[in-house]
Structure 1
Amino acid sequence: MQVRLVDRHPEVPADQLVAQMVPPPMFDEVSFASYIPDPKEPSQAAAVRKAEDFGGRVAEINRAVNKKSLFGKRKAISGAGLYLDGGFGVGKTHLLASIFHSAPAPKSFGTFGEVTNLVGALGFNNAVERLSANSVLCIDEFELDDPGDTMLVSRLLTELSARGVSIVATSNTLPGQLGEGRFAAQDFLREIKKLGSIFEPVRVDGPDYRHRDLPPAPEPTSPELLTERATATTGSTLDEFDALLKHLSTLHPSKYGALISGVSSVFISNVHQVDDQAVALRIVVLADRLYDASTPVTVSGVKLDEVFSPEMLEGGYRKKYLRAISRLLALSRFEAAETAS
C-alpha cells in the first residue's frame, strides 16, 4: 500500500526544538572556500570576505564573554551583527551556514519561522535562557511581513545580543526591487532599533543560481504516471493535494520537518491554484522543509509555478511565495533529472 503524508502525525517535544536548530543537510559540508562567487557579480566575493571576517569576530567575542573576571562573573560584552541582503538564490544561506560551521559551540541556525515557532513552544524567557549560551544565532529568511513576529524576534535578539550572542541574518529583496535593496536593509534596522547600531548590512547581488540556464517549470505528470512512479519509488509518499492541505492545517508548522522525515520523494496529485492566504502560507513552510531535506517533488495538475494566484504574487507575502516557487521548481527538476537518468 502506498504511504501517505496524511497518515503521519509527528510529535516534536519542545525541548528538542533547540537541539535540531542546525543548517539543512544540503549545507552540512559548505564553507567560505566552497562558495564560488559569480565573476560578474563583485558583491558576492565581497560578501564572502565580510562573512569570513564576521566568523572570526564571533569567535573573539565568545572567548571574551566566557572569560571570567576577578569576581567570577562573565563580562558584559555585546554580540556582533551581520545582515546579508540580496535576491533569491545568490548563496546567502551558504554563507550563513559557513558562519555557523566556523563558530564555536553552542550555536543555533534556523529560519525566521523556526525561531518564532521556538519562542512560541518554549515561551519567551525560556527561549532566551536556552539560546543565551550561544556564540551565534543564525537566522535565515528574516521577514518583515508580520509586524508581530518581527517585533517578537527583535526583542529576542536584543536580549541575546546584550548577553554576548552574535546575530547574523539573511533576507531576500524582490527581483523587481533590487535597486531598492538598501531600503530593505534600513527597514530591517529600524525594526530592531536597539540592535541597529551593531548590524552591518551587506549586499549580495546576482541571478537565482537554482534557475541559471534552466528550462521553464517542468510539465505536470499525468495522474496515471504519477501513481506508477510513486509505487516504483522506495520510501516515497503519494498524496492528493486537497487532502494534504487539510492535513497540514492540523499540524503546527514546527512539525512539518518531522512530517517528511525519512521520505525519499514526494508525489502529489491534482495540484491546483490556491487563493486562500492561510493555505498558501502552509505550502510555503512545507516547501521550505522539503527544500531543506532535498526531497524531490513530482505533481499532477497545474505546474508548480502556478500554485499561487496572481493576486497573491502581488500581495504582502510575495517574497514568501516567490521563494517557495523557486524551491519547488528546483525540487521538481531534481526529480525529473533522476527519472531521466
Structure 2
Amino acid sequence: MKAFYSDRFVLPLPAGHRFPMQKYYLLRERVLAELPEVKLDEAPVAADSELARVHAADYIERVATGALDAREQREIGFPWSPEMVERARRSVGATIAACHAARQGGFAVNLAGGTHHSYASRGAGFCVFNDAAVAARALQAEALRRGERTPRIAIVDLDVHQGNGTAAIFQDDPSVFTLSLHGTSNYPFSKEISDLDVALPDGCGDDAYSEALSGALSTMFERFEPAMLIYLAGADPHVDDRLGRLALSVDGLARRDSLVFSAAAGRALPVAITMAGGYGRDIDVTVDIHLQTIQLAAVAFGARRDSSTPDTLRSAKFI
C-alpha cells in the first residue's frame, strides 16, 4: 500500500500557533518504523492546471504570489510564505497521487490533506486548496481524456467539522456525492448543504456515532453508486481533541474506520484516505489515531490483495 507525505515542506508558524504542524512528521516516522508494508513516496506538486479544475485562476495566482489581503489570510489561519504555497500544492498532489494508487491497489493514503474548508475562490480554516475536490476533478478529467464515462466519486468526510468548502464546490453536481458527519455546534458555524449531512450533538460517543455512520453509509449507497471513495479520516472527533466537542474513544474511531473500509470492500471500491483534522491535547494521541487509520487500511488492503487480482481492483465504473 502506498502513502504520500509532504511534511518536509513545513510552514514557519508563529510561536504558540494552535495548528499541530509537527504531527505530520511524527506520523511519517511512525509509519516508517511500524508499517513496513506501506511504501512511502514524497507528494508531487499540484500544477496550476490541476488546481484550476476547482479553484478560480485569480485565487491561485494570489496565493502563489502572496497577494491575498489580510482578511483572506486571517481566514486561512496561516501567515503567507513560499513554504505555505509549497505545502498546499503538495497536499493536493498527494491526494491526487493517492487516488491513482488506490485505483491500482485498492487503498492509498495521503499523510496530510483533508483541506475541506477551502472554497473555489477562497481558503478558510487552515485550508488553502481543496485537495479532495481537485483530486476528484483530476480523476474525472483523465477519464474524459481516455474517452470513458465520468466516474462517480463519493467524498466521505468524517472530520469533526463540516466539509463546507467541498459541499459548496459540488453543490448540484450529480457526479460527486458529499457526505459529512460533523458536530452540529462546531465550526463552520454557517454550514453549507452537502448531499448528506449528519449533524451530531456535543458529547456524542462511540455507539451513537457508529449508529449514525452506519445509517449514513447505507443511505449514501442507496442514493448513489460511486466508483471510488475519498475518505477524510479526521482524528478530531476524539474525546480529548481541543477543537472537537465530540466524545469518541480511540476504539470508537477504529470502529468508524472499519465501517468505511468494510463498506468499500463489500463493493470493491478503491479508497483514497486523507488524515484531515486532529488537534489533541496530547499530540501523540492524535498521531496514534492517524496511525490506527493507516494500520486498518493496510489490513484491508492486504485482505483485498489476497482475494483479488490488480485488474479486478479497478472499478468497472471507471472503464
TM-score (norm 2): 0.28
Higher radius of gyration, 1 or 2: 1
Point out the structure with the larger helix share.
1
